[in-house]
Structure 1
Amino acid sequence: MTGHNPGMNVTGHTRRPPSIRDVATAAGVSYQTVSRVINGHPSVKEATRERVLAAIDELGFRRNATALALASGRSRAVTVLTANTTHYGYASILQGIEEAARAASYAVGIGVLESADEAAVTAEVRRAADAGGGLIVIAYDPAGVGALAAVPAELPVVGVVETPASPPRGDRPWVWTDDREAAYQATRHLLSLGHATVHYVAIPSSTRRTSARTSGWRQALKEAGAPEPSPVQGSWGPAGGHAAGLRLAEDPAVTAILCGNDDLALGVLRALHDAGRSVPGEVSVAGFDDAPHSAYLTPTLTTVRLDFTGLGRAAFALLHGVLEESAQIAPHPVSVPELVVRESSGPPSA
C-alpha cells in the first residue's frame, strides 16, 4: 500500500515539498528525533532510526541533500539566518562562524532575511529547518529577532543577541556583546574630556524597546548629571550619519557626538567637515565597533572595539556542543568592549 505523499495532491499537481515535520508524523516520532537521525546521533535506537529513514525515503524528503548526509552518518552543516551580510558586525560574525565551522569540518549555509514580515521570516526559518543540522540566528534587527522567536523548540539553535535583557525563550543558548557597557565607556570618555553632554546618533534598534547602546549612553549621562539630548536616529551606513551630522552641526552647543557604529561616524565626520566645524577642535566624535577603516580616517576615529569574529566562533562552538550533546546551555558573554582612543576626541575648545 502506497503512503500519502504530501508533495502531491489528488490531481497530481505539485504542492509544497515534504518537510521534516511530515517525516516526523509519518514515522510516529518527534521533530527532534528526526533531526537527531539526520545528524547521526548515536543515542537514537536502531529501530527508530530505520523507521525515520523509511519515512524519509517514502516521502522523498530532501533526497539530494539529506541522502548524502545520511550516507555518511551525519549532517555536518549549519545554517545562519541573518538580515545582513555586508555591515561590519554582521560580516565579522559570519567570518567567525565560518572559521570555526571549517575547523570542525562543518559546512555553513546562509539564509538572508529580506524582510521583517512575519510570513516571510517564518518561511525562511522553515526552509532552514528543513535543511537539517542546526541554526545560528543573528538577532540584531527586527527580522533576526522574529526569526529567533519562530524557530521550532525542537530545533538546535543558538541566538546572537545584542543584550541579555531580552534573551531567547526557554533555555536556548545564546551569545552576546555587552553593547550597553561599550556605549557607557565611550560616553564616559567624552564626558571626562570636559564636554557638557554627549549627543547620540543611533543605529536602528532590534526591537521597539530602547537599544542596549542607547541605554549605556543614557546611563553615563545620568551618572554624570549631564543633560540628555534627544537621540538622532541614523541608519546603518554613512549616508545616515551624514544627514544626522549636518543637523547636529547647525547647533553651536554640540561639542561631542557618539555614533552607533563606525559607518555612521564616517558620515558625521564628513558632515562636520562640510559644515566647517573642526574635529576634534570644535566637536569630538566617537564611533562604535572599531571597523578596520576607523584607524585610517582623518582624523583617526575614537571608537569601542567589539570582538565580533570571536562572537561568531563562540556561537558555532556552542551550537556544535549542542549537536554533539556536549554543551552546557547557558548565556555566553564573550565580547568585552575595549575603548580605543584616537585623534577624533579631545577637550572642548575654550
Structure 2
Amino acid sequence: MASLGSDKPGIRHVADLAGVSHMTVSRVLNDHPNIKPDTRRRVLEAIEELDYRPNMVARALATQRTRRIGVIIESAVSFGPTSILRAVEMAARTSGYSVTAVALHEGDTLSPQDAVDNLTAQGVDALCVIAPRSSSVAALRRISLNVPMLVVKADADPTFLTVSIDQQAGTGLVVDHLVALGHRDILHIAGPLDWLDARARERAFHARAKSWGIRERPIVVGDWTADFAYDFAKGLNRLPDYTAVFVANDDMAIGLIHGLHDKGFEVPKDLSIVGFDDVPLARHFLPPLTTVRQDFTALGGAVVEMLRAALEERELPQLTRIPTELVARGSSAAPREVR
C-alpha cells in the first residue's frame, strides 16, 4: 500500500488495505445495502486499523446529507429526558451520525418553531422530539418539514414517526405489584398532564385500577419535582385511608418518602410507595425505592434505527414500544390494616 508518511490516511489508503476500489469504501461509509458482508467487514477492519476519519464536509456534498440528527428536548434537566438524549447520542454515534440538540424550557421564549428553524438551518437530516408536551406537539403539527420527524411518545401518530418506552405496560406492572401485595386503595401522584408521558401513565393507572376493581380516587397532579411531593406529604394531618401511592417519577417518590418520614410516618409500614424511572439513587434511598426501570439505551437505538430507515426509504421497524421492568425493593409491602 502507499506510504502514509505524516499525512492522514485517506479513502484510497483504506481501499488499498482492504483490496477494494475507493468507490466500494464510499458505499460502505454511506451504508449502501448492496455490499457483501465479507467486503464490508474488510473495509471496516481497514478503517479501524488506519484510524481513518471520513471528511464529513465532502461526504455531505456528495450525498446531500450531513449525517446529523436534530433533537428538540423538553425539560433537559430531568432524568428521563436527559437519559433519552444521551442514549440517542450514543446510538447515533455508533451509526456514524452526530446529534445537535435544542432545549425548550418552561416559560422560555424559544418556541417549537424557533427550535425547528434553528436545527434545519444547520442542515439536519432528521428531527427527534424528546419528552414532549401536548402543546408542543400541537405546534409541531403546524410546521411543514422536508425531513423525517420522530416524536418519542406512547401513542401512534398520523403526522410523526413514534417510538416510546411502553408507559402503559410499565404502569400496569406497578398496579399489579401493589394488588398482589394486597392493596385495594391506591393514590396516584401524576406528573404535569400536559406532558404526554405523564398523561399516558395517568390513563394507564385508571384503566388498570378499574380492571382490578380498585376504588376510584382523584389523582394529585404534581410537577415532577421532589419538593412538590415533600410538601404534599408535609400537608398530611393524619395517616390517609389509601395504603399505597404510585408516583409518576422517582424524584417525586423520593420527596414523598422524605416528607412522610418528617411527619412521623413509616414507609412501607404505613404507606407503600412506588416510583417510575429507576434513577441511580433509587436503590440507595431509605427504604430503597420500588420503581419501574426504563431501558433508555434500547429506546435510543430504536429512535436512531427508525430515523435511518426513514432516511434510507427502508421498511420501518415494527417494534415501537420498548418493554419495561418492575424493580421491587423495600418501599412496597403488604398494606396496614385500615380502620
TM-score after normalising by structure 1: 0.73
Aligned runs of 1:105-144 on 2, under 5 Å? 105-115=96-106, 120-132=111-123, 133-142=125-134, 144=136
Aligned to 2:48: none
User: CA 1:208–1:237 in structure 2 vs 1: closer, same or farther (change >3 Å)?
Assistant: closer
Alpha-carbon distance between aligned partners in 1 of 2:106 and 2:244, rounded to the nearest angstrom: 35
Alignment of 1:343 onto 2:334: no
The yes-or-no answer on 1:152 pairing with 2:144 is yes
Q: 1:86 to 1:114 in 2, by over 3 A?
A: closer
Aligned to 1:227: 215
Secondary structure at the aligned position of 2:111 is classed as helix
1:329 to partner: Cα distance: 3.4
Q: 2:158 aligns with which of 169, 190, 200?
A: 169
| Alpha-carbon distance between aligned partners in 2 of 1:240 and 1:337, rounded to the nearest angstrom | 26
8 Å CA contact 1:232–1:244 kept in 2: the answer is no
Q: Does 1:245 align with 2:222?
A: no
Distance of 1:208 and 1:304 partners within structure 2:
17
Alpha-carbon deviation of 1:152?
A: 2.2
Distance 1:151 1:301 in 2: 42
**Is the CA contact (8 Å cut-off) linking 1:121 and 1:146 kept in structure 2?**
no
Aligned length: 283
Aligned 8 A contact 2:134 2:194 in 1: yes
Give the AA of the match of 1:102. Answer: R
Change (3 A) 1:142 1:249: farther
Tell me the CA shift for residue 284 of structure 1.
0.5
Distance 1:95 1:143, change over 3 A: farther
Q: 2:189 aligns with which of 160, 185, 201?
A: 201
Instruction: Give the equivalent residue in structure 2 for 1:332.
Output: 319
CA deviation vs aligned residue, 1:108-131 (integer Å, no higher than 9, x gap)? 100112358898221221222222
2:88 match: 97
| Structure 1 residues 109 and 41: CA distance shift in structure 2, 3 A | same
Residue 304 (structure 1) aligned with residue 292 (structure 2) = yes
Offset at residue 179 of structure 1 (A): 0.9
**Alpha-carbon distance between aligned partners in 1 of 2:113 and 2:218, rounded to the nearest angstrom:** 35
Runs of 5+ unmatched residues, structure 2: 1-29, 33-55
Match of 2:74 in 1: 83
> For structure 1, which segment, 151-160 or 69-78, has the greater mean C-alpha deviation from structure 2 after superposition?
69-78
1:266-325 per-residue CA deviation (whole Å, 9 max, x = no partner) reads 110001101100011111000011111111110001111111221122101111222223
CA distance in 2, matches of 1:127, 1:265: 36
Residue range with higher mean Cα deviation, 278-287 or 144-153: 144-153
- 3-state SS, counterpart of residue 211 of structure 1: helix
Tell me if structure 1 keeps the 8 A contact 2:198–2:248.
Answer: no
CA-based RMSD of the aligned residues comes to 2.8
Deviations 1:118-170 (A, max 9, x none): 98221221222222221111143235424542442432111111x22xx3334
Once the 2 structures are TM-superposed, how far is the Cα of residue 72 of structure 1 from its aligned partner? 5.6
Name the structure 2 match of 1:254: 242
User: Partner letter of residue 127 of structure 2?
Assistant: L
Q: Partners in 2 of 1:121 and 1:78 — Cα distance?
A: 16
Alpha-carbon distance between aligned partners in 2 of 1:82 and 1:144, rounded to the nearest angstrom: 10
Corresponding letter in the other structure for 1:98 = E
Distance 2:304 2:127 in 1: 9
Secondary structure in 1 matching 2:308: helix
Contact kept in structure 2, 1:281 and 1:348, CA below 8 Å: yes
244-253 or 266-275: bigger deviation:
244-253
- Quote the Cα distance in structure 2 between the aligned partners of 1:303 and 1:345: 9
Report the CA distance between 1:247 and its aligned residue. 3.7
Distance in 1, Cα, partners of 2:307 & 2:204: 29
Task: Encode CA deviations 1:18-55: one digit per residue, 9 max, x unaligned.
Answer: xxxxxxxxxxxxxxxxxxxxxx999xxxxxxxxxxxxx
SS in 2 for 1:86: coil
Q: What's the CA shift for 1:196? A: 2.7
CA distance in 1, matches of 2:273, 2:178: 9
Gaps of 5+ in 1: 1-39, 43-65
Q: Using the TM superposition, give the Cα deviation of residue 198 of structure 1 relative to its aligned residue in structure 2, in angstroms.
A: 0.5
Distance 1:185 1:67, change over 3 A: closer
Partner SS, residue 332 of structure 1: coil
The whole-number CA distance in structure 2 between the counterparts of 1:90 and 1:188 is 26
Query: What is the CA–CA distance in structure 2 between the aligned matches of 1:262 and 1:199, rounded to whole Å?
Result: 15
Q: Distance in 1 between matches of 2:104 and 2:308?
A: 23
Which letter maps to 1:279? V
Instruction: Decide whether the 8 Å contact of 2:173 with 2:326 is kept in 1.
Output: yes
Give per-residue Cα distances to partners, 1:231-265, cap 9 Å, x unaligned.
11111121122122334563431321110001110
Code of the residue aligned with 1:168 in structure 2: it is D
